[in-house]
Chain A
Amino acid sequence: MEELPKEFETVVLGTGLPESIVAAAASRLDKSILQLDQNTFYGRDWAGFRLKELREYLSTLIQNKFDAVGRAVDENLLKDGEVAVPIRPSHCPITNFEEKIYVKDDVSETDIAPQSRQERYRRSRHFSGSSVASSGTSSTQGDESRTPTTPEAPPVPPRKQFSFDDVLAESKKFSLDLAPKLFWSNDKFVDLLTTSNVSRYASFRLVNSVATTVEGRITSVPFSQSAIFQYEGLSPSDKRKLVKFMTMCMDPGKMQEQMQAASQMKLGAYLDKLQLPNTLRKSLVNAVAMCTDQTSVPEALKRIRRFLQACGRYGANTSPFLFPVFGSGEYPQYFARVSAIFGGIQCLSRTVDHAVVSTSSNKVTAVISNHERIACENLVLPTEYVPDEWKSSNHPSKARILSRAILITDHSIFPRVKNDNGEKQACDSGFMRIAREDGDELGVLLVEASHTADICPADYRVVYLWMNAKSSARADLEPYVERLLEPFQHDRDGMPKVLWACYHNYERWTWAETTEQPSAAGDAGRSAAAGKIPANVRVVSGPSGSIDLEDVLEESKAVFEKMYPGLPFLPRIPGPDEIVLDTSDSPSLDQSGNKESENIENV
């Protein structure tokens, strides 16, 4: 194994999104950065997986990752006046993993290890292949239509006969995210991607449908003037009211007036005045304002404005959302790559075992990783790695638990959308927000995407659902899955079907870094407020339930600014053509400028 340098300015534990953004921003300014992750993959709780890897990760995660006993302290690595504090995740944030496979006749629960189930399905397919009589004609037809040598096969079979084996065979074409996210077309994260030139790595698909459910029916939300113009069942004067309302939200002056005039009002009462038809009104509250009737008018108007401002950025009448091609699990890697290009060192399968704290200054002076002492000036780590003795009554703040579901389906659940020639076609990717009966502000969020975003093979769709947890993820979300989709074994037409579903809960702790330091207070006051955590340790949190990544950006920026106050945050990264290559100074950069020769992956 190659040895690491003995000294870094900043050691970052974890390769999740905020850690990687901080690492990229610091490396960009030529700070020396070491980024470690105990996993064998990038992204931590933000990671994206292939299908097989996801099942394996989630099913093994809970048993064996988090009860590992820490290494013993190497006393000889400590200096006088230093103590070693063990750094270990205190808990596993992912819990209640449950899986359900709907394909084939027997619906099986996840009581068997994935490996053996694969075997079982392989066997059962062989059976149906060898004895045609046993499973009927449909399975043979299914096999034929997959064979590429029969181009005369029926163009689109009504319902292809799947087996889970078929799905698993294409495991590599799936890219499933633990923390799916969308981008507002004009949000701060997208701005950062453009200004920093990280967008060089990224591409997007426009989300082409925004929907909600009204009385159990999925209805698309008219978010553009054109959609309102064509909206059926709405009188011209109602259309006028709606357009006028939206125009008002786009005009800052008028909106301010409205916000003041109705500052004490609830959105419900405010919309009563507009007298919109019920479906439209619900669409507006559920999917555009993304709140409830009880939300205050100023807050709701702000949200509507945000939604509308993001509309139409990429062509007339386009939706406000972008879906990241290959999924949001790629983003930690994009930023880690930036860090690597600028000299940062990334090292997987390796973690910080101990933090070395100087008792006199209450600062981390070094970390011990794999029996090596690595000196550092700053340490960045995720909340669940913070040792108990650093915690205080205020930090971390109370955990929020999310229920998440990842589904593989066969057709889009969204209403068909018109393409550029005015013909209706299946929706590529869609966003839906379903209001919860208990009035939870987040509601149930749903994102669906297809192979056009390179996250699954052509015959499938991937659907993500998440909400604030009430109980276990499956108990929370299965009712919604059953309402929107039907299990695969029913061979009825007209409704998209779910082939596979997996559920898990995610527990998110935040450090509430922003309220930590009163700006004018002295060192004494600060340390009291911050508990016993060493002054040069920065804590970052896991993915939240919000639809976008703006909160992550804000947190990363705050961490960066505390470590390097006054320095620019991720200035533009030069493109390949702007880099001078022919000096002996930078032998590690090839023509494309992104060779990661500094990347050590010691497994």
Chain B
Amino acid sequence: MHGRVKERTPEEKQEAVRKEKERKLLGFTTLWKDIVDRRAEGDRSSETLMKTNQLLAKCSDLYTLWNYRREILLADLTDAESEEGKRDGILRIELSVTESCLALDFKSYSTWYHRKWTLEQMQKADWQRELDLTSQLFRLDARNFHCWNYRRFIVERGHIPLSSELAFSTKLIADDPSNYSAWHYRTTLIPLLFPTVPSPEHQTQIRTELALVVTAVNVKANDQGIWFYTQFLVEQIQKGGYTNLLDELKEEVKKLYEEGDLTAEESIAVLHGYVRLLLLDPIQNLKESDKKFVDDSIDKLCSLDPLRKGYYQSLRDAL
């Protein structure tokens, strides 16, 4: 019929895919062989460097190639020693190579290692740009530990102010209160930012953290990460001896438990959190009513969450 469109059949499509695969495989093996031969001959030309690019773009896990690259580069860098800026120019190309590899696979050990190595070789590295890169990659996977390690490396080497890192973690938490990596990052930052405890600055910060945690547990009551962070916060409060802050926290958790209209799952998390907060004080300081509350709560927890019965019973032993 006039103007009718003819489509390929599924078989034709499959055949085309198979041929394409074969062609790719052949290209890959030839190139690989060629590069291995060149290395054996001690070839350090920039042409060879380009060839490794082609393979790494397809598979960035080939650490042999990264090693070979570094061999070639080290030779180039010694040559470039004399000229101002030439060294960094060569290394900037390396950064763009690793960047395009990361775009395809951001969890390859060898790519991250190569990028770190490149930055260490540079005289003037653009640390801010590296930070932005990690921020972008966190959007793809907020718990990418390669990326977190790399970020810590950048912060250390680039002398990035830790306060801005704290703000970054706040932003990640606001985007997703369940981002445990971001909460954990805070536990490492706060002791570094406020080494003297107790101090007014430390106390102010802990107060801010308290507000953040209270919002977070209200929005996501059954998220474990937030409760872990609460434990860290309590340690900090105890270190500083800010008893009023601890009371505030208890008050908020109690309010959430009583008025929050919790689901069974949330009840377990909140009740457990509350019991642990009460048990932080020495037993002799606990009021009788609190003691009774803890006792009742543990019964309730045992019935709501029978799998962890033994653990809850051990909490009772403290009484």
Contacts and interface: CB of A to CB of B under 8 A. Distances in A.
Given A229-B215, A229-B219, A30 B1 contact: yes
B218 interface: yes
Nearest to B213: A236
A589 interface: yes
Contact of B135 (A230, A239, A420): A420
A580 interface: yes
Contacts of A589: 5
A225 B220 CA distance: 10
Given A343-B3, A580-B7, A586-B6, A237 B176 contact: no
B171 interface: yes
Contacts of A420: 135-136, 139
Contacts of A240: 218-219, 221, 256, 260
A588 B3 contact: yes
A352 B85 CA distance: 73
Interface string A420-455: 111000000000000000000000000000000000
Given A30-B1, A240-B218, A316-B176, A580 B171 contact: no
Contacts of A583: 6
Nearest to A582: B6
With most chain A CB atoms within 10 A of its CB, the pick from B2, B3, B215, B221 is: B3
Contacts of A317: 175
A579 B3 contact: no
A490 interface: no
B13 A578 contact: yes
B8 interface: yes
Interface residues of B, number: 35
A30 B1 CA distance: 8
A595 to B, nearest CB: 11
Nearest to A228: B219
Contacts of B168: 422
B252 interface: yes
A285 B218 CA distance: 23
Contact of B214 (A236, A585, A586): A236
B8 A586 contact: no
B145 to A, nearest CB: 20
Contact of A237 (B1, B174, B255): B255
A147 to B, nearest CB: 32
B15 interface: no
Given A229-B174, A317-B175, A420-B135, A585 B4 contact: yes
Contact of B219 (A30, A243, A315, A574): A243
Interface in B165-184: 167-168, 171, 173-177
B3 A342 contact: yes
Contacts of B173: 229
A342 B6 CA distance: 10
Interface in A300-355: 315-317, 341-343
A516 interface: no
B264 to A, nearest CB: 14
A304 to B, nearest CB: 18
With most chain B CB atoms within 10 A of its CB, the pick from A236, A343, A586 is: A236
A586 B174 contact: no
A229 to B, nearest CB: 5
Nearest to B261: A244
Contacts of B136: 420
Interface in A28-72: 30
Interface string A132-164: 000000000000000000000000000000000
Nearest to A575: B7
Contact of A574 (B1, B7, B177, B252): B7
B218 A239 contact: yes
A421 B135 contact: yes
B290 interface: no
Interface string B130-143: 00100110010000
A436 B118 CA distance: 61
A14 B319 CA distance: 82
A343 B4 contact: yes
Interface string B93-117: 0000000000000000000000000
A226 B221 CA distance: 15
Nearest to A343: B3
A598 interface: yes
A316 B8 CA distance: 38
Nearest to B135: A421
Closest 3 CB pairs of A and B: A343-B3, A236-B218, A240-B218
Given A236-B215, A580-B6, A589-B5, 18 more contacts: A228-B219, A229-B173, A230-B174, A239-B218, A316-B175, A342-B5, A343-B1, A420-B135, A420-B139, A422-B167, A422-B168, A574-B8, A578-B8, A578-B13, A579-B6, A579-B8, A585-B4, A588-B3
Interface of B: 1-8, 13, 132, 135-136, 139, 167-168, 171, 173-177, 214-221, 252, 255-256, 259-261
21 contacts: A30-B1, A226-B176, A230-B174, A237-B259, A239-B215, A239-B219, A240-B256, A243-B218, A243-B219, A315-B139, A341-B5, A420-B136, A422-B168, A574-B7, A578-B8, A579-B6, A580-B6, A586-B3, A586-B6, A589-B5, A593-B5
Interface of A: 30, 225-226, 228-230, 236-237, 239-240, 243-244, 315-317, 341-343, 420-422, 574, 578-580, 583, 585-586, 588-589, 593, 598
